[in-house]
A and B are shown apart, each in its own frame.
Chain A
Amino acid sequence: MKLLNLLAFSFGFLPFRLPLSAVILLIAALCFAFRFRRTGKGAPLAVFMLLAAAAFALLLLFADPLAAVPALLLCGALLLPAKKGGKRK
Chain B
Amino acid sequence: MNLPFSLGFTSWGFFAALALLVALSRLLPRRALPTLLLGASLLYYLALAPAALPILAAATVVVYFCGRLTAKDKSAAAGFGVAAALLLLAVTKYLPALLGSKFSIITPLGISYFVFSAISYLCDLRKGKLPPERDFGRLALYLFFFAKITSGPIEKAGDFFASLDELEKGDKPFENRQGFLLILSGCIRKLAISDLLSGAVAAVFDAPAGQSGLAVFGATLCYTLQIYGDFAGYTDLARGSALLLGVPMSENFIHPYAATSIKDFWRRWHISLSSFLRDYVYIPLGGNRKGKARKQLNVLIVFVLSGIWHGVGFTFLLWGLLHGLLQIIEDFLPWREKLKARFGERSALYLVPSVTVTFLLVAFCWMPFRAADMATYGALLKALAHPGSLSGAWRTLGLSLPDLLTVAAAFFASDRLKKAALPAKIPAKAPEKAPIPKRPTAARTLPMRKVAEPAVSAPAPREEKRGGSLTPAFPGCLLLAAAALLLLFLAAKSGSGGSFIYIGF
Contacts and interface: CB of A to CB of B under 8 A. Distances in A.
B476 A79 contact: yes
Nearest to A4: B475
A81 interface: yes
B467 A85 contact: yes
Contact of B479 (A67, A75, A84): A75
A13 interface: yes
Contact of A69 (B192, B412, B423, B425): B192
A85 B476 contact: no
Residue among B409, B422, B472 with max Cβ neighbours from chain A (10 Å) = B409
B423 A85 contact: yes
B410 A80 contact: no
A84 B419 contact: yes
B424 A9 contact: no
A86 B466 CA distance: 8
A72 B413 CA distance: 10
Nearest to B425: A85
Given A2-B474, A12-B482, A78-B476, A73 B466 contact: no
Contact of B476 (A59, A70, A76, A87): A76
A69 B420 CA distance: 21
B55 interface: no
Interface in B456-492: 466-470, 472-480, 482-483, 486-487, 490
B406 interface: yes
| Chain A at the B interface: SS class | helix
B416 interface: yes
B420 A80 contact: yes
A82 interface: yes
B482 A9 contact: yes
A9 B473 contact: no
B478 to A, nearest CB: 6
Interface in A38-89: 59, 65-88
B419 A82 contact: yes
Interface residues of B, number: 38
B51 to A, nearest CB: 38
Contact of B424 (A65, A75, A85): A85
Contact of B420 (A66, A68, A75, A81): A81
Contacts of B416: 77, 80-82
A79 B479 contact: yes
Nearest to A75: B479
B402 interface: yes
B84 to A, nearest CB: 44
Contacts of B467: 85-87
A22 B475 CA distance: 16
A73 B483 contact: yes
B448 interface: no
Which of A74, A83, A84, A85 neighbours the largest number of chain B CB atoms within 10 Å of its CB?
Answer: A85
A25 B368 CA distance: 46
B321 interface: no
Contacts of A13: 482
Contacts of A2: 474-475
B486 A77 contact: no
A41 to B, nearest CB: 15
Given A69-B483, A70-B409, A87-B467, A76 B478 contact: yes
A85 B422 contact: yes
B200 to A, nearest CB: 15
B466 A88 contact: yes
Contact of A84 (B402, B425, B469, B483): B425
B341 interface: no
B417 A87 contact: no
A88 B416 CA distance: 13
A87 B412 CA distance: 18
B188 interface: yes
B58 interface: no
A84 B416 CA distance: 9
Given A84-B422, A85-B423, A88-B466, A70 B405 contact: yes
A38 B423 CA distance: 31
Interface in B406-457: 406, 408-410, 412-413, 415-417, 419-420, 422-425
A59 to B, nearest CB: 7
A71 B275 CA distance: 38
Contact of B425 (A73, A75, A87): A87
A86 B472 contact: yes
A37 B470 CA distance: 25
A81 B478 CA distance: 13
Interface of A: 2, 5-6, 9, 12-13, 59, 65-88
13 contacts: A74-B409, A76-B477, A76-B482, A77-B412, A77-B413, A77-B416, A78-B476, A81-B416, A81-B419, A85-B468, A86-B424, A86-B468, A87-B425
Given A80-B416, A84-B424, 12 more contacts: A59-B402, A65-B490, A69-B409, A69-B483, A74-B409, A76-B482, A77-B412, A80-B413, A80-B476, A81-B416, A81-B472, A82-B416
Interface of B: 188, 192, 402, 405-406, 408-410, 412-413, 415-417, 419-420, 422-425, 466-470, 472-480, 482-483, 486-487, 490
Q: Which 6 A-B pairs have the closest CB atoms?
A: A85-B424, A76-B479, A79-B476, A80-B476, A76-B480, A77-B413
